[in-house]
Structure 1
Amino acid sequence: MTHGNIRHQRTTLAVATAVAAAAALLSTSLTASAAARPTADAARPAGAPVGLSAAAHTGLLRNAQAELAGTAKALGLGSQEKLVVKDVVKDGNGTVHTRYERTYAGLPVLGGDLIVHTSKSGRTEGVTRASKATLKLASLTPRIAAATARKQALSLAKKDRSAKPAVDRAPRKVVWAASGKPVLAYETVIGGFQDDGTPNQLHVITDAATGKKLFQYQGIETGVGNTQYSGKVDLATAQSGSSYTLTDDSRGGHKTYNLDHQQDGTGTLYSQDNDTWGDGTTSNAATAAADAAYGAQETWDFYKNTFERNGIKNDGVGAYSRVHYGDSYVNAFWDDSCFCMTYGDGSGNNDPLTALDVAGHEMSHGVTSNTAGLEYSGESGGLNEATSDIFGTGVEFYANNSSDPGDYLIGEKIDINGDGTPLRYMDKPSKDGGSADYWSSSVGDQDVHYSSGVANHFFYLLSEGSGAKTINGVDYDSPTKDGSTVTGIGRDKALQIWYKALTTYFTSTTDYADARKGTLSAATDLYGADSAEYKAVEAAWTGVDVH
């Protein structure tokens, strides 16, 4: 997070989501029956991504790797450019979307990612690029020393009031192509802690010729909230003899650890001699662990049953969760470097931030990192945050927990503002006092948790439409910029369109105009260019002033 002053003014709005749950989680009881839970549509559109076995996924990656030289030539890349395969997605109709990173003279190209869309017959149907600029550098020799970039990065971290800032990754030479003319640059990563105790991963990009700062972003993506009761739920655990651990072998081996108020390391795996975890109070350390494990399994199941995605990386491997981080840490965060979720215990260690919305939101940052890789700054950062709000909301609706019915309010249970109001509103984001309802040329200058309002509003309009309505007992009244009426297509279809766009059309530099194009392409693939769904996407973007 680069906007420390905003976080101090209003801590809750400098974070991503929060509706949490401290509850008695009994392994033999259920909140809602499986029959009541939303299931995957048996007749998914032919253009929707399909679940791939590990062998099939590996085979597609291997094929893409074998054809790198030919693909680079077909794309017209220069002699010093090389492609690096990042991921492959296959649709039900046989279309393959291959995502690549790029290097130039062996250097990583930041903002050089692209996606090649290939039909079942093998014909290239299109290419989505993070940057359309031609890669051609006059020199690969820096004019400034790496030490200058290091000093600049440390200075920026101190300006953001980071605690104990230290160089986590020494300056490395890269090509910066995410904005303007590609230039030789340094990327420096600063560690330590942010001012609220969150681990620091501040990436600073410095022009290697002039020493000018080109870009900075925070590698740790955060959320905040207090806990609420989720009720009694089933948990998947592992038994060895007379001992049980919070290990979920049915979901990639997800494990839940106790940090016991430390700020580093993995912690201790939760283990006990019975299979009942927590008692619904914060005095029992296993309550937060049970909430975290529940959130992780619901998030896994949401992605699996809604999109046929097999884990965060789509490789069948589970992340892990750490609870009881730090002392009175009022936050939660996803860290892609450890592939893990971490939860603080809230103010006074009284309200662990372990909740469905927190889990769904934060782990969705992991999905974004392993697909589009949306830069966590500017409009792409707002889209990154909105993606987590959108899928976190999807997890809440999917879980169908009677103690926390699905809604389009973020943080509605935690009273973080002290007056009973939610942290954020998807139907009219500006009701929180800071988020943007509509796009403007300055929206990218806002903190990413405010600029996300444009996409959150779009998603609500696409799902439910404009005007007044009541859903699950909550009243909404969503306006449009031009006063037009938008008819929603339902949350299930809206989720499919956003996921399709994220995984096959969004890149690291996608802004709101690009997001409009990407979701329209996704709607075309899924439902057709003349479909009501396509027209609804157009209308919803117009409603938030993105043309």
Structure 2
Amino acid sequence: MTPHMNTRRAAALAAVAAMVVVGVQTGTANARPAAPDDGSSASPRTSSPAFSSASARTAAIKSAQTDASSTAGSLGLGGKEKLIARDVIKDAKGTVHTRYERTYAGLPVIGGDLVTHIASNGKLKGVTKATDARISVPSTTAKIKTAAAARKVIWAGSGKPVLAFESVKTGVQKDGTPSRRHIITDATTGKTLHSYEAVETAGVGNSQYSGKVDLSTTASGSGFELTDGDRGGHKTYDLNQGESGTGDLVTDDDNTWGDGTGNDRQTAAVDAHYGAAKTWDFYKTALGRDGIAGDGKAAYSRVHYGDAYVNAFWDDSCFCMTYGDGADNKSALTGLDVAGHEMSHGLTASTANLDYVGESGGLNEATSDIFGTAVEFFADNATDVGDYLIGEKIDINGDGSPLRYMDQPSKDGGSADYWDSSVGDLDVHYSSGVANHFFYLLAEGSGAKTINGVDYDSPTSDGSTVTGIGRDKAIQIWYKALSEYMTSSTDYAAARTATEKAATDLYGADSAELKAVDAAWSGVNVK
């Protein structure tokens, strides 16, 4: 469990919650969930955590380089070490994350990069290091000769740092893609320490739910692996029906993955890898967020969990998504909106950290449904078009119906359309209906309409008419409310206040958007 979990929350959750009780951020990596449950017109002012301009970011990097010497000293680095500022990100809370490369005695340190995290008050919150090893070598004089094109480096990627050479071998990969393989060789023994392909390739995936898709993969040896170098190094593993550990990294010989059916083990990995990529891209494009936690760090995905496991879940302790194969072991719960839903539990854990119980638990679940839906629309996939249905592709009910409906949540037989004083007593997947309904009304409005071929007819608690402001603006308002105004104990009344503040910040106190927020909350009986 996460160390900051309070007693109330811990008592409410004995294990990781899951997609069908659709997933959240607590429990251990090998815990099995206790039981399954069942267009905007104008562009909004962004709530993204970024610098005001590219020039401001450049200036921040230059400033970090100016202070690099004092930063190295404050971190306790050795006298022969220097820092080179490579990137600076400022998040929504004003924390500045500065990424550095390291040198030792003037030589590049491969595997020595680090990131400092400075709070808005100027205090160091922490440091993320690629290695905790002390950077030091007995000598910088090599004992072997190597080609003139090789450069002398310090290799700190594994174990004790050593003096090494880095050379680059060019050629052609198996599928015809150009190759630029970096080879690290021990400068004392001549032993190859590490090698990697610098040309990242795009594989072709045949998914079960999203058709033929492009995958960001990485060449490895004579084949390829599901490692996404474009998105923080996200990896997809096969658990081989296990319920603990990481499993095996999914690999392939020709960079064409899966056959589009559950009969091929790679197919589930294709959907999971694709869903992770689209969620990352949505966060980056729509929210200005660099990964789930906003730190550029990738999660990872595990497919083929358990035997006939009808669920999927996010676990914050491993920072990973896990997917079962369904009742027939051929219908993995790897739909696009499921992937977006699971990773968005990680987003909630990194922001408001909404308690997974009562009304705050419903808001937690709804947040994942909202962003999972947003990911599906963002992907613009012709096979899995955007809609306000949750889990419609995975057929969890066995009759082709979706798991949840955002326009009228009660159509699933258990979710609440409107708030009342007993909503907090419902399972969080049913109390989420109030916020899901609010979001639909805010984005699309009340009444009957058809969107991407799906018919909707959204009612209101008081018979009022709500005019939507478009999905893009609704997403910006929800994200800003979540990341800046909601807390772990936020209930529905406080969520209304949070979204009102967010709409005011983004669009103004007299804006149509703020009026729409109020109308949508009134439409679900949150006063």
Give the TM-score taking structure 2 as reference length. 0.65
For 1:405, what is the secondary structure of its paired residue?
coil
Distance 1:47 1:387, change over 3 A: closer
For 2:436, what is the secondary structure of its paired residue?
helix
Would the aligned equivalents of 1:12 and 1:416 in 2 still touch at CA under 8 Å? Answer: no
2:391 match: 411
Alignment of 1:49 onto 2:49:
yes
For 1:349, what is the secondary structure of its paired residue?
coil
In structure 2, runs of 5+ residues without a counterpart are 1-9, 25-38, 65-88, 97-118, 122-206
In structure 1, distance between residues paired with 2:19 and 2:276: 23
How far did 1:348 drift? 2.6
Superposed CA offset, 1:235-281 (max 9, x none): 00001342211000110000011110111111111122210011112
1:15 match: 22
Once the two structures are aligned, what percentage of the paired residues are identical?
A: 68
In structure 1, distance between residues paired with 2:472 and 2:457: 20
Relative contact order (alpha carbons < 8 A, sep ≥ 6): 1 or 2 greater? 1
In structure 2, distance between residues paired with 1:447 and 1:387: 15
The range that moved more, 457-466 or 45-54, is 45-54
In structure 2, distance between residues paired with 1:540 and 1:479: 11
1:508 match: 488
Distance 1:47 1:297, change over 3 A: closer
How far did 1:97 drift? 5.9
Would you say how many aligned residue pairs link Structure 1 and Structure 2? 367
How far did 1:228 drift? 4.6
What is the alpha-carbon root mean square deviation over aligned residues?
3.2
In structure 2, distance between residues paired with 1:316 and 1:56: 18
Alignment of 1:529 onto 2:509:
yes
Superposed CA offset, 1:415-445 (max 9, x none): 4334433211100111111100001111001
In structure 2, distance between residues paired with 1:487 and 1:42: 15
For 2:465, what is the secondary structure of its paired residue?
coil
Would the aligned equivalents of 1:51 and 1:310 in 2 still touch at CA under 8 Å? Answer: no
Q: 1:381 aligns with which of 352, 361, 366?
A: 361
Superposed CA offset, 1:140-195 (max 9, x none): xxxxxxxxxxxxxxxxxxxxxxxxxxxxxxxxxxxxxxxxxxxxxxxxxxxxxxxx
2:219 match: 239
2:415 match: 435
Superposed CA offset, 1:43-76 (max 9, x none): 651655336979969x99xxxxxxxxxxxxxxxx
Would the aligned equivalents of 1:97 and 1:504 in 2 still touch at CA under 8 Å? Answer: no
Would the aligned equivalents of 1:51 and 1:309 in 2 still touch at CA under 8 Å? Answer: no
In structure 2, distance between residues paired with 1:13 and 1:288: 17
In structure 1, distance between residues paired with 2:282 and 2:19: 26
Distance 1:97 1:55, change over 3 A: same
In structure 2, distance between residues paired with 1:395 and 1:46: 17
Distance 1:540 1:406, change over 3 A: same
Would the aligned equivalents of 2:23 and 2:313 in 1 still touch at CA under 8 Å? Answer: no
Within 5 Å, which residues of 2 pair with 1:26-425? 44-45=44-45, 48-50=48-50, 89-90=91-92, 228-425=208-405
In structure 1, distance between residues paired with 2:217 and 2:238: 16
In structure 2, distance between residues paired with 1:12 and 1:292: 14
2:148 match: none
For 1:341, what is the secondary structure of its paired residue?
strand
In structure 1, distance between residues paired with 2:424 and 2:374: 25
Distance 1:490 1:234, change over 3 A: same
In structure 2, distance between residues paired with 1:13 and 1:269: 26
How far did 1:284 drift? 1.4
1:462 match: 442
In structure 2, distance between residues paired with 1:285 and 1:98: 42
In structure 2, distance between residues paired with 1:408 and 1:239: 37
Superposed CA offset, 1:77-134 (max 9, x none): xxxxxxxxxx9744xxxxx5679xxxxxxxxxxxxxxxxx99xxx9xxxxxxxxxxxx
How far did 1:487 drift? 0.3
Give the TM-score taking structure 1 as reference length. 0.62
For 2:450, what is the secondary structure of its paired residue?
strand
Superposed CA offset, 1:393-433 (max 9, x none): 00000011101110011122344334433211100111111
Would the aligned equivalents of 1:48 and 1:525 in 2 still touch at CA under 8 Å? Answer: no
1:452 match: 432
Would the aligned equivalents of 1:454 and 1:544 in 2 still touch at CA under 8 Å? Answer: yes
Rg comparison, structure with higher value: 2
In structure 1, distance between residues paired with 2:11 and 2:434: 20
Would the aligned equivalents of 2:362 and 2:429 in 1 still touch at CA under 8 Å? Answer: yes
In structure 1, distance between residues paired with 2:470 and 2:257: 36
In structure 2, distance between residues paired with 1:366 and 1:288: 21
How far did 1:2 drift? 8.2
How far did 1:42 drift? 10
Superposed CA offset, 1:453-484 (max 9, x none): 00000000000000111111111111111111
For 1:237, what is the secondary structure of its paired residue?
strand
How far did 1:352 drift? 1.1
2:458 match: 478
For 2:216, what is the secondary structure of its paired residue?
coil
For 1:236, what is the secondary structure of its paired residue?
strand
In structure 2, distance between residues paired with 1:315 and 1:398: 22
Distance 1:262 1:468, change over 3 A: same
Would the aligned equivalents of 1:379 and 1:512 in 2 still touch at CA under 8 Å? Answer: yes
1:220 match: none
Would the aligned equivalents of 2:278 and 2:375 in 1 still touch at CA under 8 Å? Answer: yes
Superposed CA offset, 1:354-403 (max 9, x none): 12111100000000001100000000000000000000000000011101
Distance 1:375 1:344, change over 3 A: same
1:176 match: none
In structure 1, distance between residues paired with 2:332 and 2:504: 43
Letter in 2 for 1:14: V
Would the aligned equivalents of 2:308 and 2:327 in 1 still touch at CA under 8 Å? Answer: yes
In structure 1, distance between residues paired with 2:91 and 2:478: 15
Distance 1:445 1:269, change over 3 A: same
Would the aligned equivalents of 2:91 and 2:294 in 1 still touch at CA under 8 Å? Answer: no
For 2:337, what is the secondary structure of its paired residue?
helix
2:500 match: 520
How far did 1:16 drift? 5.8
For 2:341, what is the secondary structure of its paired residue?
helix
In structure 1, runs of 5+ residues without a counterpart are 5-10, 18-37, 61-86, 91-95, 100-116, 123-226
